[in-house]
Amino acid sequence: MSSTAWTVEFIHFVNSSQVRLEALVGRIWAPGHMFDSPDFDSSDLRLTTCTSVIMTDPECWTDWFDRDDPAGDSGDWETLKDLRKENPGGVCDIPLQIEVRTTAGLSVASTGNVISVSDTTTGFICKNSDQETGMCYDYRVRFLCPPDFCRPKVCWTEWFDRDDPTASGDWELLSDLRKKFPEDICEKPLGIEVVTVDTNIPVASTGQATYIYSPTVGFVCRNQDQSCHQCFDYKVRFGCPCPCDD
């Protein structure tokens, strides 16, 4: 079997798992596919691209809220209307679930309290008048939101093109770009995007192998890794936390 270089490329984000694969025993990896190859020899495959493995989004829960105290009042009212007033931006527009516990960590079921409301539309209400003891426990609530609610907003920089592939390749390293553009790139980029300078073709669509493709390191295409021995000229930009998320 002849030596084959497979490339798998797309925009990298820090919160996805970043993996450099040099050899894959018994399997072949192609864009969007991995399949067994019983005749495969690991020495025949080298992936020259730093690939990202898409991970399932973790659940997106808000902070715990405890805005009301049942003592000396009508009960414990943790309504979405009041929580949104007191915590602007703290709860998504359409919560998927609500979780309620006492401030001591007990489940609602274990308290024996009669609950008036507990849903994602109104929030949570426990009325003292409904309890045999005449008093609700003190509760806290949180809400499950769509994954996008927990993702940081990304603001993209301008495009940068500091190098041409006339020598060893196209080197758009973050360290070099910061020297040339000291005020233009955030301290900890969340993402990187790379396209050709002349036609804006994403690097993943060019068929070229990349040596480095990382939001925290930058981008490198080496001429020696290409079948035609020449990289295209690329430009890069970085995804940074938007000012409102700082």
Average pLDDT over residues 90-106: 95
Query: pLDDT confidence of 179, banded at 50, 70, 90?
Result: very high
pLDDT for position 57: 56
Q: What percent of the chain has pLDDT over 70?
A: 76
pLDDT in tens, 45-63: 333 333 333 344 578 999 9
pLDDT for position 72: 72
pLDDT for position 189: 92
pLDDT of 103 over the 50 cut: yes
pLDDT of 131 over the 60 cut: yes
Torsion angle (degrees, nearest 10) of CA 179, 181, 182, 188: -100
Strands (E), 183-243: 191-196, 212-214, 218-222, 234-241
pLDDT in tens, 145-169: 999 888 878 899 999 999 999 889 9
pLDDT for position 17: 34
- Residue 244 sits at φ, ψ, to 5 deg, of -70, -15
> What distance in Å separates the CA atoms of residue 199 and residue 187, rounded to the nearest whole number?
29
| Sheet containing 75-79: order of strands | 75-79, 123-127, 117-119
Where is pLDDT greater, at 5 or 66? Answer: 66
Where is pLDDT greater, at 45 or 194? Answer: 194
pLDDT for position 244: 58
Where is pLDDT greater, at 4 or 128? Answer: 128
- Tell me the CA distances in angstroms from 152 to 13, 148, 157, one per residue in order: 11, 8, 15
pLDDT for position 144: 96
pLDDT for position 40: 37
Rounded to two decimals, what is the model's pTM? 0.51
Q: What's the whole-number average pLDDT of the chain?
A: 80
User: What contacts 124, CB < 8 A, 6 or more positions away?
Assistant: 76, 77, 78, 79, 98, 100, 115, 117, 118, 139, 141
pLDDT of 26 over the 90 cut: no
Query: pLDDT confidence of 28, banded at 50, 70, 90?
Result: very low
